[in-house]
Structure 1
């Protein structure tokens, strides 16, 4: 009896303690003044997933506003240092007739627009890797690489060996990878590069993934800078699957090579992140060499992070959608938009703009894909055309509008990219680039199913239930 009594007392005490902890957590959530949607999502998780929900919140949900992993004040201060050399460069001054989006990013993101660039577009991993290897092979002064994923596979080892060769030639090589994105990579893989004089850093290292809030803030950028003159930006990482795809289809992505002054923006982004992790300040003018015009492309490198005051890329996307007069086409592997972005899509379509959204029929993560599908009916109800890509996994993050504005980068149309990740996108403001990216979108349409509401309503009831449940967690995915 005594054993049973003590067991009951302990159980009662546990439930009372848990109840007060949950109440305190909810109270803290409310005081944090987050969006009502995110607050209610966390409250549902706490109530319907006892203990597990609390643990999940502790590691993934706490706001770091008062305890920044990289404090906003310090991040702004450090970004101004490489920014000083960046801003001393001659950028595009006459913005007459240019889209308001350019002025918005220049004011809010301090992103300078540069004309006279040359750009090449890659829609598959093989052509991008070839171009990157060629650029690295020709490096004379420095190579800066930053990828969310840098795998220890055939592709990763090929690039590693090339970097080692360049380091032996006296070229300064720096590699920044994301610690969570490369969880499965044996650290010996990076140690081999360190032993050869290559500087290698993991972004916000997570020593005990289950016991740290760092896991929620990841550097999702995919950029490369060679000699400060050539740069790469887009959606591709360094891994074999970006070339081979899956057994069920190809990997369709978009990446671009830039030559010209727009590379200054990529260099600034890399040097800022490097200083944030290594505390090594690299601001020499040799990283920002003087360049002549290479072509006719007008480009602006825009970054966003969970530290800054504004959600730069998300707000820019909203502005681009709202400014569209004739059309706006969007590709994204994951579509879990914030309320602001969703409203912008619907408003533009209701105003008569040709709005098209393309997502993959099948994705690499089940939950995010189910969550993405839950938004499609609302899009179609407003007149948005939804295209389902059937030829493989569409990982491209592409936006093009009115033959005058376009974007390629790392940011997905989801909460994580807009609110939690460190992202980088290139925005373009010339007709030639916009038409080239538009043609890529239209070519992908040939491998798509144009979804109708009637057809979509016939999907299995079980799938609808899963979609609806996952959607409740959309702000957390």
Structure 2
């Protein structure tokens, strides 16, 4: 018994030393990583008070990637040669004076080029978007480049798969990038059928052992389609039936764009950079950047962001756009977990008298993120931000418009994950007609909302407030 007791004591002491050594070591690593102080404190608190859960969460979502370049400067310049020539060839483009700094910021941080003469189609429901997408795909002659976070094995996914297979059999080059985590539950056979038919389908950042890799935390959330280098699609919709059918409790409200014009060069560049990332093959043929005549009046700049870039391009651009707004800045987002710079920009603009409106779904598809969203509403309403809760269904739209001059639609949510962890893409438009069209869409959706007032919001139960506050601590990790 004595030896057994001694052994148990030694084991217990050794276990505690190792266990607390691991926890303390992880905390030291997080501190020395010089992250955002808010995120650092969030991880320290999780590891200190929820150690077992914290360790698992950290291995899934906590470890940072190295700041490695996706592509060398020489290769990037080769890829940008034709788009840059098209950009320089523009005699002039009418950029609103108040938006010059926003566009210049994106050029300096993201090498994003603004192109004039674009025709835009705007879709606010999945049915019309899928219908237009299939129509354009059926007319493809040279190549189809497609990139989605989610590509479901459901009636819509199978329809899209069959269209792509038909085009591949006709001799059209078809390349597909799908996110490995976004399509985890999709059977491998679904994509193998495409590959056997001649489609080059690639998973983005494959994750096979999630407990031993941080790749699970860095996902490609982009939605890009490029057809023959002349037609492009970008926005918030994936390839899945729910984007058309919605839920039993409401519709799925989203926003997507179709672009015809030189802005497609920006979408093509974004896709080919991701293709290089997944395939280590640099595609720079002129057929991917054909000569495109002006077909509309919209000035468009395609901007990307990713977790391994030097700057937080889209977040920084939105901060500047909000701060530059003179009359109004309207936002639609399914999740509102703002970083400190975004939160401060919204509060400052609202306090300065700018009409800031935030529209979020009353009921969301994820309980945890919705609780975290609710925890930030008091912060913005106190500063004068008007909050609207969309009641008709789930609002997944990522639409923003300001001063009848600037508007943006894309894949970026207003949350930590989109700004810091995901690969995202947005189209920024700098023309009055597009801004007015999107503002009208915002107003139409506002009719299906209830306004939220601070006085009433404060009356929710203490239990609800506590849940929101606890989840808020985790918001930098959600």
- What CA deviation, in whole Å up to 9, does each residue of 1:199-250 have, x standing for no partner? 0000011112232111010000001000000000000000000000001100
Counterpart of 1:133 in structure 2 is 134
SS at match of 1:201: strand
Deviation at 1:54, TM superposition (A): 1.8
SS at match of 2:353: coil
Does the CA contact (< 8 Å) of 2:93 and 2:116 recur in 1?
A: no
Does the CA contact (< 8 Å) of 2:149 and 2:179 recur in 1?
A: yes
Counterpart of 2:325 in structure 1 is 324
Deviation at 1:78, TM superposition (A): 4.5
In 2, Cα distance between equivalents of 1:473 and 1:160: 38
Does the CA contact (< 8 Å) of 1:41 and 1:475 recur in 2?
A: yes
RMSD: 1.3
Does the CA contact (< 8 Å) of 1:78 and 1:272 recur in 2?
A: no
Matched, 1:235 2:232: no
Counterpart of 1:192 in structure 2 is 193
SS at match of 2:51: coil
Counterpart of 1:247 in structure 2 is 248
Matched positions, count = 473
- Give unpaired runs (5+ residues) of structure 1: none
Counterpart of 1:302 in structure 2 is 303
Counterpart of 1:82 in structure 2 is 79
SS at match of 1:51: helix
SS at match of 1:386: strand
- What CA deviation, in whole Å up to 9, does each residue of 1:352-377 have, x standing for no partner? 00000000011111111110000000
Deviation at 1:6, TM superposition (A): 2.0
Deviation at 1:63, TM superposition (A): 1.7
TM-score by length of 1: 0.97
Counterpart of 1:172 in structure 2 is 173
Does the CA contact (< 8 Å) of 2:358 and 2:385 recur in 1?
A: yes
- Give unpaired runs (5+ residues) of structure 2: none
In 1, Cα distance between equivalents of 2:158 and 2:362: 31
In 2, Cα distance between equivalents of 1:228 and 1:346: 41
SS at match of 2:412: coil
Deviation at 1:162, TM superposition (A): 0.7
Does the CA contact (< 8 Å) of 1:75 and 1:276 recur in 2?
A: no
Counterpart of 1:469 in structure 2 is 470
In 2, Cα distance between equivalents of 1:64 and 1:119: 36
Question: Per the alignment, do residues 127 and 96 of structure 1 end up closer, same or farther by CA in structure 2, a change over 3 Å counting?
Answer: closer
Counterpart of 2:388 in structure 1 is 387
In 1, Cα distance between equivalents of 2:164 and 2:72: 29
- What CA deviation, in whole Å up to 9, does each residue of 1:321-340 have, x standing for no partner? 00000000000000000000
Does the CA contact (< 8 Å) of 2:56 and 2:211 recur in 1?
A: no
Counterpart of 2:160 in structure 1 is 159
Matched, 1:266 2:270: no
TM-score by length of 2: 0.97
Following superposition of structure 1 onto structure 2, how do residues 53-68 of structure 1 map, counting pairs within 5 Å?
A: 53-65=54-66
- What CA deviation, in whole Å up to 9, does each residue of 1:60-82 have, x standing for no partner? 211222xx5xx227465554332
SS at match of 1:90: helix
In 2, Cα distance between equivalents of 1:451 and 1:228: 44
